[in-house]
Amino acid sequence: MQSSLPLTSIPLSVRDLTVAYHRKPVLWNVTLDIPDGSLVGLVGPNGAGKSTLLKAVIGMVPKISGAIKIFGGTYAERRGSVAYVPQRESVDWDFPATALDVVLMGTYGRLGWFRRAGKVERDAAREALAKMEIEHLAGRQISQLSGGQQQRTFLARALVQEAKLFLMDEPFAAVDAATERAIVMLLKDLQAKGCTIVVVHHDLHTVPEYFDHLVLLNTRLVGAGPTSTVFTDSNLQKTYGGKLTLLEEIGEAMKRRDQRSKL
Amino acid sequence: MNQWFDLFASPPVIVADTQLWRSLSLSDYNTRVVLAGTTLLGIASGLLGVYLLLRKRALLGDAISHATLPGVALAYLWTALIGQDKSLTVLLVGAAISGTLGGVSVLMLRHFARVREDAALGIVLSVFFGAGVALVSVLQQFPRGKISGLESFIYGKVVAITGSDVALAAVVLFFVIAIIALLGKELKILCFDFELARSQGWPVMALDFLLIAMVVAVTIVGLKAIGLIMVIALLIIPAASARFWTHDLTRMLFVSGVLGGVSCAVGALASAAFANYPSGATIVLCACFFFVLSFVFGTQRGVLWNFLHQRQLSRQQEYQHLLRICYEGLEARGSLPSLSKLSTSEAVPISEVAERRAWSRSFALKVARELDARGLVVLRRSGDLQLTARGMVQAEEAVREHRLLEMYMMEQAAADVGQADREADYLEHGLLPEHLAELGENRSVGAPPPVPPSPHPFKSE
C-alpha cells in the first residue's frame, strides 16, 4: 500500500475545506498549509471541528467541498506516509489482545493482504514499545493497562507505521504526568527526525512549550502559523470568545431552513 | 480385546432395543448423520461468533436469521404454485437471498440513513420476520403435504438432517476456517479499531459484508438443525463463554469452536434420544449449560476463580497482621531474639492479638490455628502464641514493610501517626519488591535489612 510517487515538500495542504454533519457545518472554508518538519498544535473549543479536520484528511468523513493534498498527492496515494492515532476511547480495550498485538496492527498496512506479521514486524513492534518505555508490558492483556499505558501503546503502534506525517487525536487526554512527558519527548524526537506531527490539543497552558506551530480552529480557521505569532490574546479571544457564536447560529438557521425546504 | 469389540458389535440385549442406546452408541446411520451435521455447524458458528461478538455485531446474526423466513416462505410458495416437489436447494437459495438482503439492509440503514445500529437491527428483524409470518399464513391455506417441514425451519428438527446437509455444513465450515486463516489479521483490525483499519486503506465495508456472508451461510446450515429463531444462540453463546477462559484471540477461537461443536453434538443427541424435543431447544440449553459452567469456572473471568483469588488475598493479609502483632508484642516486652538465634520461647496471648486488631477472640483463634497448621506459629493450649523460626522471619518482613510505609506516609504525605498506621495497613499488601527497595533505599545498609523502630507506641485499634 506504499506509494512510490515523489513527495513534495508540503506535508499537508488544505484548500477551502467544508465539512458538514447532517447539513450542519462543522468546518467552514478552512485553508491551511502545514510546513515540513513542524510540530503543530490543533487547538479550539469543543465541537470546533478539530477531530473532524483530521478525519477529513484521511477520508473518513466526506467533504462537501475543498481539496486536501498530502505531500502533493491524495490520501489514497500517500497512505503509507501517514499515521493516524485515533482517540483512545474510540476502541474497546476489552478486546482479547496483548499490547504487542495492538502495536503489530500498525504494520498491517504495509504487509498487505494475507501476509502475517513475522519476526521483522515483531522486532519493530518491540522496539516501538521500548521507545514508549513499556517494553515490559508487551505481553500484557490490554484491558489491564492503565490509561497512560494504553495511550503509549497507541503511539507505539503509530511509530511502527514508519510514517512521515502523524495525525494524533488528543493523545494527552486523561494521561498521567509521566506519560505526558514521554509523549512530548516522543513528539520532539519525531520532529528531530524530520517528521511532521499534527496534534489535537486541549490544554492552552502547555501550547507554547509543546508546539512550534499552531492552528486555531473554531469551525472556521482563526489562525495558523508559528506559535510565537499566532498564540496571541486576540486570536484566543476570537477562538474561544463570544463572537463566533453568530456563525453557529447561522449554521443552525441553515439547518432549519434546509429541513423546511425538504418538507 | 476381542471381548470389547464384541460388546460394541452386539450391545447387551436389554438396552439394544431402546432408542436411547441406539442414539448414544451411534449404531444408527441417521444418528451419525445428525451428529456429524450439527457438530460441523456448531464449530463453524462458534468460530464465526467470536468475530461477531468482537465486532459488537452479535445481534446482526439475529436479524439475518429472522430475515431468512420470507425467503423460505417464498420458496415454498413458488414450488407449490408451479406444482413442483419442494427441493432443498430452492429453499436454501431463498433463505440465503432474503438473509443477505436483511444483513445488507442493516448496513445500509446505518451507513446512509444514519439510523443507530440497535434501531436498524430492530427494524430489519421485525419487518423481515413480519413479512415472513404473513407469507406463512398465506401458505397455510395450501394442502398440508405441500408445506410439510416448514415448521422445522422455524424451530429446528435434527432428524430431518440428510447426508447432503452434512456435506453443506462441511463446505461452510471449510470456508469459515479458510477465511479466518487467510484474513485473520484483516478481521482483527476491523474488529478492534475500525478507524485505523480505514486509515490504512482496508475495504472495511467489504470486510463487514464478508462477515455477513459467513453469518448467512452458517444460518442457512443451521435452519434445519436448530431453526431460524434459535440459530443466533449458536453464534453468541459459545463465543461469549470462550471469553471467560482466555484473553487470547486464537485460543478464544479454539475454545469457542469446541464449545459450539460439543453443545450441538450433545444437544442433537438429546433431541434424537428423547424424541419430540425440538433440537433447537436442546442445543440452546446445552450451549447455555456450558455458558454457566464458563461463567462460574472460567480461568480468566469466571466468578469462582475471582472469588477464590480475592479470598486468598484477604487471608494472606490476615496472616501478615497476626504475625506482625506477635512480633511487636515481643518487641514491646523487650524479648525479641537476637539475629543469630531466631526462635524464642516468649509467647503473646491471643487476647492481645484480638484486642489490637479489633478481631473477635474466635476469629483470632481461627487465624492462629491456620498459621499453626502452616508451621509459622505454635498455638499453645493456654491460647498463647509463640512464633516459630520461620514465623519469625516472615513476621520481621511484615513489620519492616509496614514501618517503612508508615514512615514514608509521615514524611512524604504529611500523614499524622494514626493515619499513617491505617494507610500502611491498607497499602502494605500491594507492595511489590521494587517499591520496597525504593522505600528502604535510604535506610538499610547491607544485609539483612534492619527493622526500623515503630514511629508510634502500640495501641489497640
Q: How much is the ipTM here? A: 0.86
Predicted model pTM: 0.80
pLDDT over 60 at A92, yes or no: yes
In this predicted model, what pLDDT tens digit does every residue of B231-252 receive, in sequence order? 889 999 999 999 999 999 999 9
Question: What pLDDT shows up at residue B16?
Answer: 41
Q: pLDDT band for position B17 (50/70/90)?
A: very low
Cα distance between residue B347 and residue B385, in whole Å: 5
How confident is the model at residue A42, as a pLDDT? 95
Q: How confident is the model at residue B430 (pLDDT cuts 50, 70, 90)?
A: low
Rounded CA-CA distance B190/B200 in Å is 11
DSSP state of A132: T
Contacts of A91 in chain B (CB under 8 A): 192-193
Q: If pLDDT is split at 50, 70 and 90, which confidence band does B9 have? A: very low
**Given an 8 Å threshold on Cβ–Cβ distance, is B54 in contact with A95?**
yes
C-alpha–C-alpha distance, residues B71 and B63, integer Å = 14
The pLDDT tens digits for A178-227 are 889 999 999 999 999 999 999 999 888 889 899 999 999 988 899 999 99
Distances, alpha carbon A1 to alpha carbons A59, A113, B94, B184, B186, in Å: 16, 10, 39, 18, 14
What gap in Å lies between CA B260 and CA B47, rounded to an integer?
8
Answer for the pair B96, B81: CB distance below 8 angstroms, yes or no: no
pLDDT class of B355 with cuts at 50, 70, 90: confident
- For range A156-170, the mean pLDDT: 94
- Which residues, 6+ apart, have CB-to-CB distance to A186 below 8 Å? A131, A132, A155, A159
Which of B55, B185, B301 is the mutation pick for testing A, counting most A CBs within 10 A? B185
Distances (CA, A) of B145 to B71, B85, B148, B167: 19, 10, 5, 27
**Is B200 near chain A, with CB under 8 Å?**
yes
Are residues A97 and B191, on separate chains, in Cβ contact within 8 Å?
Answer: no
> What's the rounded mean pLDDT across residues B372-398?
84
Of A1 and A140, the structure prediction assigns the larger pLDDT to: A140
Chain A 111-130, residues with CB within 8 Å of chain B CB atoms: 111, 113-114, 116-117
Give the per-residue pLDDT at B263.
94
Cβ–Cβ < 8 Å for B115, B123: yes
Q: What is the mean pLDDT of residues B161-180?
A: 92
Chains A and B form CB pairs within 8 A to the count of 67
pLDDT score for B325: 86
Q: Which of A81-95, A107-121, B314-328 has the lowest mean pLDDT?
A: B314-328
What pLDDT digit, counting tens, does each position of A103-135 carry?
A: 999 999 989 999 899 899 999 999 999 999 899
Checking if the pLDDT of B75 tops 80, the result is: yes
Q: Where are the beta strands (DSSP E) in chain A?
A: 12-21, 24-34, 39-43, 65-70, 82-85, 165-168, 196-201, 213-218, 220-226
B252 near A CB under 8 A: yes
| pLDDT greater than 60 at residue A261 | no
Grid cell digits, residue B50: 467470536
Determine the residue among A102, A107, A154 to mutate to test chain B binding: the one whose Cβ has the most chain B Cβ atoms within 10 Å. Answer: A102
- Cα separation, B9 vs B96, in Å, equals 42
Q: Is the pLDDT of residue B384 over 90?
A: no
Among A60, A102, A105, whose Cβ lies nearest the Cβ of B198? A60
Question: Residue A216: what pLDDT?
Answer: 93
The pLDDT, as a whole number, for residue B332 is: 80
Band the pLDDT of B26: cuts 50, 70, 90: low
> Distance between CA atoms of A43 and A45, rounded to whole angstroms?
7
- Higher-confidence residue of A96 and B395: namely A96
Residue B247: its chain A contacts at CB < 8 A? Answer: 96, 98, 141, 143
Average pLDDT for chain B: 82
B100 or B15: which leads in pLDDT: B100
**DSSP state letters, B265-276:** HHHHHHHHHSTT
Residues of A in contact with B243 (CB under 8 A): 96
DSSP character at residue A194: T
* Cβ distance of A86 and B191 shorter than 8 Å: no
Interatomic CA distance for residues A188 and A125, integer angstroms? 20
> pLDDT tens digits for B284-309?
999 999 999 999 998 888 888 888 88
Computed over every residue of chain A, the mean pLDDT equals 87
Would you say B267 and B238 are in contact if contact means Cβ atoms under 8 Å apart? Answer: no
Report whether pLDDT(B398) > 80: yes
B51 vs chain A: nearest CA distance in angstroms? 11
